[in-house]
Amino acid sequence: MHIVYYVACSVDGFIGPADGSVAWLAPFEGGAEDYGYAHFFGSVDSVLLGRRTYEQSLTFGKWPYEGKRCWVFSRQKIKSTVPGVTVTMESPPAVVKQMKSQKLRRAWLVGGGELAGAFRADGLISEYIISVIPVLLGGGIQLFGEKGAQERLTLVESQRYASGIIQLRYVKEA
């Protein structure tokens, strides 16, 4: 199972302000450039979200992960209102085991930072695609919720866009 943490973060390492809003990304959206998103989205068969990220996604109008098998991690009992979405209180390794049994091969770890930290702590993230947005948020939701062990990565690709966004793609070193 290949887990990819594909995320946007500010130059100072935050994936959003404390309230979880995405308005800070608006100046970089809607143009002709999709920053490789369509290609990436087509490459995944499943999506992993934390509860707050899931709830934020519900405010977008149309469900943004249509056609993908989705798991929402939550410590609270919540009900999914979207077909194909499973809400779970299980650990990341337990869900990855389920995904493997369903023959899923490539998952997008959407976030948030706390969930990404849990996947990272269990050694489950195999690839990181981080779009560094030329904004300083000054605080908010960290790229990884908790500090983890040191992990060595290999840069396999970088792309600079006219908007000032730099996208970095790393894989875990063997």
Per DSSP, the residues of 78-110 read ----STTEEEE-S-HHHHHHHHHHTT--EEEEE
Angstrom CA distances, 10 to 14, 56, 129, stand at: 5, 18, 14
Read off the pTM. 0.95
pLDDT at 140: 95
pLDDT at 145: 80
Terminal C-alpha separation, the chain: 16
d(CA 125, CA 86): 20
pLDDT at 61: 86
pLDDT at 70: 97
Q: What angle do CA 140, 15, 126 make, to 5 degrees?
A: 135
d(CA 74, CA 89): 5
**Each residue's pLDDT expressed in tens, for the chain with a length of 174 residues:** 999 999 999 999 999 999 988 999 999 998 888 999 999 999 999 999 999 999 999 998 899 999 999 999 999 889 888 988 999 999 999 999 999 999 999 999 998 999 999 999 999 999 999 999 999 999 999 999 876 788 999 999 999 999 999 999 999 987
**Exposed (0-12), middle (13-18) or buried (19+): which is 173, by Cβ within 10 Å?**
exposed
d(CA 77, CA 59): 20
Q: Which CATH class is domain 2-172?
A: alpha beta
The pair of structure tokens assigned to 94 is: 């337990």
